[in-house]
């Protein structure tokens, strides 16, 4: 990870974004409680504030030129599990476990919008400092954090965002594929930096072994197959990457000839290798 830049919010954010953030901060008390406890707001919403744009669209979702753009949530992090537990119990007594099991989910408000707030309390994701917390994000684009007064982001962040590219930082979790797709389809980015392809290639190697070395559960890897296939549709699974998946996944082919319909099963990767030179 490159060195972090630290700027006061008043220096880094536009007046409009500052106003949006203060409004959210006032209407969602758990955010202020997180800052007061020494925690941080990190990830997608911090990135949104630094980029600018419509907070209404980000928090509520909207219909874009290529379809429905999913809403985003607000992710809160803490320096230790005890602090996370204290804030959750005092501010969000009825919070529910997140789908992935790494956080508790609570609600907030921004104007007329309900906001999903995730309070990260899993020991594997809790780091002692904001710098260490940001280092663990899989995409450099998301390595943006706020401590209540300052905003932190990597030195190369503005350049890759200007080019509308994703830079991969880590590739050892099952979620990378879905994260790349999310930022391509819903967050305005258009491709990968050149140095990210090697990391994506490494992720395919993990995926073909079902992330067996990480101790991940079946629910964590359930979406990997679909995400790999979607990445292939977007041209991000190259011919040499398909070798990883030979004899791994099947695909049902449906055809119609002379008014008769029939279907048959093929090996997905072998079929891709046979039908495309890309």
Question: Measuring CA to CA, how many Å separate 6 from each of 77, 131, 142, 146, 191?
Answer: 18, 10, 15, 9, 27
Superfamily of domain 1-162: Beta Polymerase, domain 2 (3.30.460.10)
CB–CB of 234/251 below 8 Å? Answer: no
- Taking only the tens of pLDDT, the chain with its 278 residues reads 468 999 999 999 999 999 999 999 999 999 999 999 999 999 999 999 999 988 988 998 766 656 676 889 999 999 999 999 999 999 987 888 888 888 999 988 888 888 999 999 999 999 999 999 999 999 999 999 999 999 999 999 999 999 999 999 999 899 999 999 999 999 999 999 999 999 999 999 999 988 877 777 788 888 999 999 999 999 999 999 999 999 999 988 888 877 788 788 999 999 999 875 45
Q: What percent of the chain has pLDDT over 70?
A: 95
Q: Where are the domains of the chain?
A: 1-162, 163-244
Task: Express each pLDDT in 49-77 by its tens digit.
Answer: 999 988 988 998 766 656 676 889 999 99
* CA 76 to centroid of chain Cα atoms: 14
């Amino acid at each position: 990870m490159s060195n972090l830049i630290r700027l006061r919010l008043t220096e880094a954010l536009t007046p409009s974004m500052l106003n949006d953030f203060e409004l959210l901060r006032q209407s969602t008390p758990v955010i202020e409680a997180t800052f007061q406890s020494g925690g941080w707001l990190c990830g997608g919403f911090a990135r949104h504030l630094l980029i600018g744009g419509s907070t209404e669209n980000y928090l509520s979702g909207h219909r874009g030129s290529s379809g429905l753009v999913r809403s985003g949530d607000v992710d809160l992090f803490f320096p230790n599990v005890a602090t996370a537990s204290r804030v959750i119990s005092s501010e969000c007594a009825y919070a529910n476990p997140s789908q992935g099991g790494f956080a508790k989910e609570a609600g907030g408000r921004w104007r007329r919008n309900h906001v999903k707030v995730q309070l990260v309390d899993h020991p594997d994701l809790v780091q002692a400092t904001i710098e260490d917390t940001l280092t663990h994000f899989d995409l450099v684009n998301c390595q943006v954090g706020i401590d209540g007064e300052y905003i932190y982001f990597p030195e190369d962040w503005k350049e890759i965002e200007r080019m509308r590219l994703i830079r991969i930082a880590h590739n050892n979790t099952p979620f990378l594929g879905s994260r790349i797709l999310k930022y391509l389809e819903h967050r305005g980015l258009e491709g990968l930096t050149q140095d990210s392809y090697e990391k994506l290639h490494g992720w395919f190697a993990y995926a073909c072994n079902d992330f067996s070395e990480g101790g991940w559960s079946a629910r964590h890897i359930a979406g990997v197959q679909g995400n790999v296939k979607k990445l292939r549709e977007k041209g991000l699974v190259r011919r040499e990457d398909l070798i990883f998946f030979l004899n791994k996944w099947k695909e049902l082919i449906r055809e119609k000839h002379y008014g008769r319909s029939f279907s048959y099963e093929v090996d997905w990767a072998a079929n891709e290798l046979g039908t495309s030179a890309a």
